Amino acid sequence: MSEKINVIEQSLKALLEDKDFLPDLKDKTRDQAFKSLVSILSTPNKIHKSFLRIALENGTIVRIPSFRIQHNNTLGPYKGGIRFHPSVSEDEVSNLAKLMTLKNALHEVPFGGGKGGVVINPKDYTPKELNLICKKFVQYNNDILGPDKDIPAPDVGTGDREMDWMMAEYKNTHPGEPYRGSFTGKSIINGGSLGRREATGKGVYFTFRYMMHNFLNDNKQWLEKTDNIFAKTALDHADRKLTMAVQGFGNLGSVGALEAYQCNYLQNQVVAVSDHNVMLYNSDGLDIPALNSYAKEHEGELPTTEKELAANDIKATIQNRDDLLELDVDVLMLAALEDQIHERNMDLIKARMIIEGANAPITEEADEHLSSKGVLIVPDILANAGGGIVSYLEWIQGRETQFYKEEEIYELLFDKMQKTMDTILPQFFGDPFALRQNCYIHSVMKLSTVMYRQGKLY
């Protein structure tokens, strides 16, 4: 992940002149407090790096780098996923841990921010070896994990299987202690929550749908009078067919694409989807349910040949996966990895609205460039919080040993995300800051106020 400009410092500078923010702090004391906040929120509390000792099935011993970074726990226990990917690095995990702190603050989820990573390609290891990697990760971080300390969840390259294995190891190493809330994103039979797999994708699409349908319809007269460039972009795309391309077709992208396909509030037409192999394109719209069914039966892979398409009655042309971002569509949903839109391709982006399902899929330079042109970007901190919110609901269910129905989970999820949108969107469309910066400012304001009230700025 590319180095990010200090969003904490940017946000605090925007707040510094607001006399209603921490009004008790004045003059020199105020300046000192702001310097303290920059220092505290820009750096993680703790960095845990381990080299997991793994005995492979062929008899070889390997040492695998792993990280658990705990950014901030002002609002509650550290919370954030564990990713298994060859590109994992300390800088990447640290940035993602910071994002989790800001995201939980934005959505009023009582957790702090953390993140974990193991530097592997999980496809290179057998199930038995992956099981051992999961156990070792828990063993090496045994003292810092727990339902009231640090609660991991799935991320890229991990899922409910890995969370089940890790929870089981935590249970073994903490006999007689509560364990169900030690990990979230588990399978249902092991105390996971209904709807957890679909939560992030559903939440990503919900933010877009709520903004473009509910909020626009309720505030159309006001928005038409403002000179906000992002309001103009939204209004230009209201009440008409919206072509959409989805990059990434894993849990997030496949669910987000299906939500867009089935939506009765907006006239969506999903014309392209891609995964790590291929892009499928149909100018008349793809059959997303059929593609979802195919992917479920083929380990998440999209069809890659004309024969496979014909056998499943899917009408599409096969194209280069890398061309998806440059398609002439109204909306891009980014559901793959970080840094997909950058300074080398930002001038080729034709979409006027972008939804960030993945974490940090747009670099800082590209974000500023596209925003200056009025491209409306729904940022990751706002859009992809669904998994974290339902992880919180899973954590509550684990403590109470009472479980919600799936429709109750989605109702609670959308209600919480709607409250966030109702707080952020009027501010966003009423001032010159991009939506991302508005979200950061709100998060930093919440964290700063709580830390001040807790006496942590002295």
DSSP state of 341: B
| Residue of 401, 399, 403 lying closest to 412 (CA atoms) | 403
Helix, strand and coil content of the chain, in percent to the nearest 5, comes to: 50, 15, 35
- DSSP per-residue string spanning 240-268: S-EEEEEE--SHHHHHHHHHHHH-SSS-E
Other Cβ atoms within 10 Å of 21 Cβ, number: 19
Contacts of 106 (CB under 8 A, 6+ apart): 381, 382, 385, 420, 424, 439, 442, 443, 446
- Beginning with the edge strand found earlier in the chain, give each strand of the sheet holding 150-154 in spatial order: 46-55, 61-72, 113-118, 78-84, 150-154
Contacts of 225 (CB under 8 A, 6+ apart): none
CA 437/CA 428 separation, integer angstroms: 9
Rounded to 10 degrees, the C-alpha dihedral 245/359/446/455 comes to 180
Quick check: 11 and 437 in contact, CB under 8 A?
yes
Active site residues: 115
CA angle, corner 415, sides to 413 and 417, nearest 5? 70
Classify the C-alpha dihedral 228-234-239-241 as positive or negative.
Answer: positive
Quick check: 171 and 147 in contact, CB under 8 A?
no
Please name the amino acid found at residue 447: L
Q: Rounded to whole angstroms, what are the CA distances from 208 to 27, 80, 126, 205?
A: 41, 24, 39, 5
Q: How many residues does the chain have?
A: 458
CA 414/CA 83 separation, integer angstroms: 26
Q: How far is CA 350 from the centre of its chain?
A: 23
Quick check: 355 and 375 in contact, CB under 8 A?
no
| Residue of 186, 130, 102, 46 lying closest to 447 (CA atoms) | 102
